[in-house]
Amino acid sequence: MPTKHDVALRTEIIAVACDMARTGLTFGTAGNISVRVDGGFLVTPSGIPYERTTPDQIVFCDLDGGYEGEWMPSVEWRLHRDIYLNLPAAQAVVHVHSPYATALSCLRIDIPAFHYMIGKQGGPTLRTARYATFGTAELSDAMIEALADDRTACLLANHGQIAYGKSLAQAYSVAGEVEYLCRQYAIVRTLGTPVILDDTEMTEVMRRFRTYGKQPRDCTPEEVAMMDRPVRRDG
């Protein structure tokens, strides 16, 4: 596991944060990123523009609610801490106020299975956590409820979205996919009422997602047996 002094990891966090702003996934100092390390996690600091952040300003937080150094962690440090405490698979967390995810979060609805890719985040819907004031334990509790049942992302009511992954690259990818799905759903809502995939179909979709994007060498024998793949021709 990386250590809190890993300069390369701190530099990677800053690079991803800058890319979030460049691609429009967030704006200004909104949003935050963290990565799990030995004894806690590294998280972006509060109120410092990403392009001006230096590796020493990335803050180490422990899992008991403490931090080290002269720089305060993001006001949403608790969201990151509680994901690491409750979800062992989480190795990195990305929280952003991306435009479409934030807009839909203000409707306070779960995004239904209008597209099968909804299932990639672990369930037949993309949940919206109940509203609570930013930076509070109540918001963190609501988020953990929404991430139950193996969800890897959720919307935060009247706020934005949060996603986690087995690496920083994966967490960032999930956040991007959530924003793209929210954009698609917003578009289809302007065109009419979408046809929602039923529970039977979404059960099959999520079964297939167990091996989605994997090579056989990366799968268990059970997962390989599940794969619907073409016949390999050598020569």
**pLDDT at residue 148 in the model:** 97
Calpha distance 28→201 (Å, rounded): 40
Q: Is residue 15 part of a domain?
A: yes
Active site residues: 76
Tokens of 95: 């929280």
Average pLDDT over residues 1-18: 95
**pLDDT at residue 233 in the model:** 72
In degrees rounded to 5, what are phi and psi of residue 41? -155, 155
**pLDDT at residue 79 in the model:** 98
Average pLDDT over residues 109-114: 98
pTM of the full structure: 0.91
**pLDDT at residue 213 in the model:** 67
**In the chain, how many domains are there?**
1
Mean pLDDT of the chain: 93
Structural domain span for residue 119: 7-191
Asked whether the predicted pLDDT for residue 210 surpasses 90, the reply is no
**pLDDT at residue 191 in the model:** 97
Characterise 188 by phi-psi region: left (phi > 0), alpha (psi -120 to 50), beta (else).
Answer: alpha
Average pLDDT over residues 47-56: 94
pLDDT digits (tens, 9 = 90+) for 157-209: 999 999 999 999 999 999 999 999 999 999 999 999 999 999 999 999 988 88
Sign of CA dihedral 164, 168, 174, 179: positive
Calpha distance 35→4 (Å, rounded): 10
Strand order across the 128-129 sheet: 59-62, 40-43, 32-37, 92-96, 160-165, 153-156, 128-129
Model confidence band, residue 133 (pLDDT cutoffs 50, 70, 90)? very high
The CATH number covering residue 19 comes to 3.40.225.10
Asked whether the predicted pLDDT for residue 225 surpasses 90, the reply is no
Taking a C-beta distance cutoff of 8 angstroms, is the pair 105, 89 a contact?
A: no
Nearest in space to 76 (alpha carbons), one of 21, 34, 134, 131: 134
Q: Is residue 140 part of a domain?
A: yes
Model confidence band, residue 212 (pLDDT cutoffs 50, 70, 90)? confident
pLDDT over 90 percentage in the chain: 83
Q: Where are the alpha helices (DSSP H) in the chain?
A: 7-23, 77-86, 99-105, 137-146, 168-191, 199-209, 221-226
Q: Is residue 204 part of a domain?
A: no
